[in-house]
Structure 1
Amino acid sequence: MTKELHNELYQITFAGRILEGFNDAEVRENVQALFRISDERTASLFSGATKTLKSGLSHADALVYHERLTKAGADVHIAKQPAAAVNPKPETDGAQPPAPSDAEPATTATPTGPQQETPLEFTGNGREYFGIWIVNILLTIVTLGIYSAWATVRNNQYFYGNTKLDGASFQYLASPITILKGRLIALAVLVVYVVLSEMYVEAAVVFAIAFIPLVPWIMVRSLRFNAVNSAYRNIRFDFQGRYGQAFMVAFVWPLLNLLTLLLLTPLVMKKTHEFIANGSRYGTTEFALKADTGSYYRFFGKGLLIAIAFGVAAFLTMRYVGFTVGSIIAAAGYLTLFGYFMAGISNLFLNAVHLDRHGFESRLQPLQMVWIYLSNSFFVVLTLGLFTPWAKVRMARYRASCTAMMVSGDLNHFVAAEQNRTSALGQELGDAFDVDFAAI
């Protein structure tokens, strides 16, 4: 490749024409599927006017886009981007770009340039989710719990699908049948344990002890199942944490923490965050936790000072002023600590996570978290649980509004490279162990 090709930027243009051997409806459907755009935007692309589908591309990337769109039947062209055109907005801006073909050689996923904040967005609403939520509950009751696997998938698909980054939604791809199988296995194990407990206490104890080594394995399988069934722009996530690391997180570090009278609590949390972050993948690119142990100790140290301050104030107030006022101060202290840790742990984790040269930023506010939690709880109780969908949507919207990805260079370029590198990789989804285990 010449030096000129390295320096020039290129764009993909399209005038609505289709290639010989394709019909108009077929090409429209292919292009719409590739870019994930609406019927109106698709119609605009085929209006006959020349449109810029993608700009700011290297020559190699332009060839990738050209080949994929040509295979879809679109008569697209590669053109040098005019020097005067500074990042012109493409017609498919914010839409899903087409993935490179399996045969195309990989392009680098290393982004360049200054970091730009790309905010997360949640577009769901309570009334829409209420329809899904109430149907899930009713069908789960009618089917004696069997439908719960389908309910889990529908819930996750709704929240994933309404969570967007750079204009593209996340995807949840798990099969309800797989989840149901996992739950039936867990139920069978529980039944065996209960029967043994009633008939043979010694056998139940042996069974429980024998189950302990399975806990780290279940942790790893659960994290991997959730990861590989999550995707962004058709690229699956993955989790490659090892059994030994899970064993340390589940048993060794907590035991050492107890032996040191909880002095290792910040370190234990850091080790847990490292296990989750460092084992996670987006396609073939590894996540990494870049945080020093001191930041965790400072975080917990501030929490301890807050607890001590409110505790002393509540104690002195109860003794010299009155029990009622002291109780109010104690409750205020509890809520302050609750908000501090609820928001702070998420901020601590996400602000330390990196994906190649991309970073993340979380700006959750403790007081806002407490207000949302308390008001949600009040309305859920007041409505006998019917406000639950609005409560979940409200919290999801706030969390998304405070979260952003710090993109170094072009995220589309990074995604295109990942699609190229992972296109030939098979995915072993494994068994479903939807056990709650997360960093935040």
Structure 2
Amino acid sequence: MTTELYRIQFAGETLDGFEATDVKNNLQGLFRISDERVESLFDGTIRTLKTDLSFDDANRYRDRLIKAGADVEIVPVAAPQMVAEPESKRSVEAPRAASLSVEPMEAKAEEAEEAAPTPESTQPAAVSKSANRVPPKRPVAKPAETGHLREAPIEFTGNGGEYFGIWIINILLTIVTLGIYSAWATVRNNQYFYGNTRLDNASFQYLADPITILKGRLLALAILVVFVVLSNLYVEASILLGIGFIFAMPWIVIRSLRFQSINSAYRNVRFDFEGKYVEALMALFVWPLLNLFTFMLLTPFVTLKTHRFIANGSRFGTTPFLLNSTAGQYYSFFGKGILMGLVFGLVAWIGGELFHVVLGTLIAVVGYIAVIGYFMAGMTNLYVNSLSLEGHTFSSDLQPGRMIWIYISNSFLVMLTAGLFTPWAKVRMARYRASCTAMIVDGDLDHFVAAEDKRTSALGQELGDAFDVGIAAF
């Protein structure tokens, strides 16, 4: 571990997606300083907000300032301190870099956590939606290197009418070909949604070959037929095949996740998956079995283990993703959801007993919908906000109310139109999910492209395995 000390510098720049006025208000509330003093922070002078920090403390302070919208940098104390010229003083000699001393930042790390206001308390009412998005704590790959932090929102540009043409043709051709065209339908669907999902002015790509997917499905069908025939003829064979299936499933899941990953790309850099067999076996069978023995008390822990298996096994090029969450966060999340359900259940029971059974039923239905929305949105937020990629992090702020409204209204319209609204429903949900998701980019993403050139030659042999089974994070 490095013993080098660091300082936090600020030159009056704001992160993308934040208004300067909002950032000033946020910093004023965070530091509890006067209007004149907060204005002086934005005169173009590079100021040291805090110095002589350990690496972990420096990142902790930087994360708090990022939440306020300030574009700050961590610089080793030993490095020379650069000076920027204020715009109002371009013709005169640049001033010395200034240092700002404020109480929350001068306290010890533990005291600062308690003294500093929460993001909600420092956010003014006029803060935009993107400003309210709170990026998670960010590990930095190289302590001595820093980059320009910016928020890169994810966008979905597809529309229901356009996708309807693809969707209806896929259905008709799949029926006419007795299911054979389903492999091509899968590729066309994925290519449409990947191609219309954009990050930092570039679209994602789906590169799978329909023939490979069809071969995988035919192989799975053949295995299923053999299993059914042998099970009917020999009871012992069904038992042996069942046991064999348990040990084969982790391998199949890994191959499926890898097939989906290496056929997904961004800026011509392929994703990858390198999960271990033992981790897959634990996530699929061992942890769920232990959960049953503990009367489902391990559910948050099992969910965390599954998320870690998926996230930590994933790669972008040669760079691994990392899930930074803890078991405590998952137990807190599940505990709040269970408490919400119990409160609604109690209120529904009281309403039914004291007033009318119809009222109790309505409250129970509302509670059920609220809990479902909480888990639908919260599980995604919990996973995405804990994810990092070599110093880059991700942000998700799905709202339970909005999420459940889209889900219910989509279901109603799909039933009302006998399924014809399905393309619009999928596009609507994809657009909302994208609008609530962003990547906090530290520097740029160009270095991933260089790493890809060293890896592509090893991918050819892996493209032949395709299985339509797997597990998902949410």
Are the counterparts in 1 of residues 153 and 435 from structure 2 also a CA contact under 8 Å? yes
| Pair 1:343 & 2:377 matched | yes
Return the alpha-carbon distance in structure 1 between the equivalents of residues 224 and 434 of structure 2: 37
Return the alpha-carbon distance in structure 1 between the equivalents of residues 383 and 146 of structure 2: 24
Are the counterparts in 2 of residues 360 and 404 from structure 1 also a CA contact under 8 Å? yes
Return the alpha-carbon distance in structure 1 between the equivalents of residues 347 and 145 of structure 2: 52
* 1:111 positional shift: 7.2
Aligned to 1:298: 332
Helix, strand or coil for the counterpart of 2:167? helix
Identity %: 63
Return the alpha-carbon distance in structure 2 between the equivalents of residues 387 and 414 of structure 1: 42
Aligned to 1:418: 451
Return the alpha-carbon distance in structure 2 between the equivalents of residues 213 and 333 of structure 1: 40
Which residue, out of 316, 320, 341, partners 1:282? 316
Are the counterparts in 1 of residues 348 and 361 from structure 2 also a CA contact under 8 Å? yes
Cα displacement string for residues 58-115 of structure 1 (whole angstroms, at most 9, x for unaligned residues): xxxxxxxxxxxxxxxxxxxxxxxxx99x9xxxxxxxxxxxxxxxxxxxxx9x973242
Helix, strand or coil for the counterpart of 1:169? strand
Are the counterparts in 2 of residues 111 and 414 from structure 1 also a CA contact under 8 Å? no
Aligned to 2:466: 432
Return the alpha-carbon distance in structure 1 between the equivalents of residues 267 and 451 of structure 2: 10
Cα displacement string for residues 325-350 of structure 1 (whole angstroms, at most 9, x for unaligned residues): 11111111111011100000100000
Cα displacement string for residues 111-143 of structure 1 (whole angstroms, at most 9, x for unaligned residues): 732421100000000000000000000000000
| Pair 1:380 & 2:414 matched | yes
Are the counterparts in 2 of residues 178 and 432 from structure 1 also a CA contact under 8 Å? yes
Going from structure 1 to structure 2, the CA distance change for 1:305 and 1:186 (only over 3 Å counts) comes to same
Cα displacement string for residues 361-412 of structure 1 (whole angstroms, at most 9, x for unaligned residues): 001000000000000001000000000000000000000000000001123x
Amino acid at match of 1:364: L
Helix, strand or coil for the counterpart of 1:434? coil
Helix, strand or coil for the counterpart of 2:362? helix
Amino acid at match of 2:285: F
Aligned to 1:407: 441
Which residue, out of 190, 200, 207, partners 1:173? 207
Map 1:76-95; keep pairs closer than 5 Å. none
* 1:166 positional shift: 0.5
Aligned to 2:180: 146
Which residue, out of 292, 314, 325, partners 2:359? 325
Helix, strand or coil for the counterpart of 2:296? coil
Are the counterparts in 2 of residues 270 and 296 from structure 1 also a CA contact under 8 Å? yes
| Pair 1:362 & 2:396 matched | yes
Return the alpha-carbon distance in structure 2 between the equivalents of residues 416 and 150 of structure 1: 29
Amino acid at match of 1:185: L
Return the alpha-carbon distance in structure 2 between the equivalents of residues 308 and 248 of structure 1: 31
Aligned to 1:137: 171
Aligned to 1:226: 260
Return the alpha-carbon distance in structure 1 between the equivalents of residues 145 and 311 of structure 2: 20
* 1:197 positional shift: 3.7
Higher mean alpha-carbon deviation, 189-198 vs 395-404, is at 189-198
Amino acid at match of 1:219: V
Are the counterparts in 1 of residues 351 and 357 from structure 2 also a CA contact under 8 Å? yes
* 1:257 positional shift: 1.2
Helix, strand or coil for the counterpart of 2:364? helix
Amino acid at match of 2:439: M
Return the alpha-carbon distance in structure 2 between the equivalents of residues 337 and 326 of structure 1: 16
Return the alpha-carbon distance in structure 2 between the equivalents of residues 315 and 192 of structure 1: 52
Are the counterparts in 1 of residues 318 and 452 from structure 2 also a CA contact under 8 Å? no
Going from structure 1 to structure 2, the CA distance change for 1:111 and 1:365 (only over 3 Å counts) comes to farther
Return the alpha-carbon distance in structure 1 between the equivalents of residues 236 and 344 of structure 2: 47
Task: Give the alignment's TM-score, normalised by structure 1.
Answer: 0.73
Return the alpha-carbon distance in structure 1 between the equivalents of residues 201 and 229 of structure 2: 52
Aligned to 1:187: 221
Segments of 5+ residues of structure 1 without an aligned counterpart are: 1-82, 87-107
Helix, strand or coil for the counterpart of 1:212? helix
Aligned to 1:160: 194
Aligned to 1:258: 292
Return the alpha-carbon distance in structure 1 between the equivalents of residues 229 and 354 of structure 2: 56
Aligned to 1:311: 345
Segments of 5+ residues of structure 2 without an aligned counterpart are: 1-83, 88-141
Task: Give the alignment's TM-score, normalised by structure 2.
Answer: 0.68
Are the counterparts in 1 of residues 153 and 439 from structure 2 also a CA contact under 8 Å? yes
| Pair 1:200 & 2:239 matched | no
* 1:421 positional shift: 4.5
| Pair 1:217 & 2:251 matched | yes
Return the alpha-carbon distance in structure 2 between the equivalents of residues 128 and 378 of structure 1: 21
Are the counterparts in 2 of residues 225 and 431 from structure 1 also a CA contact under 8 Å? yes
Are the counterparts in 2 of residues 233 and 415 from structure 1 also a CA contact under 8 Å? no
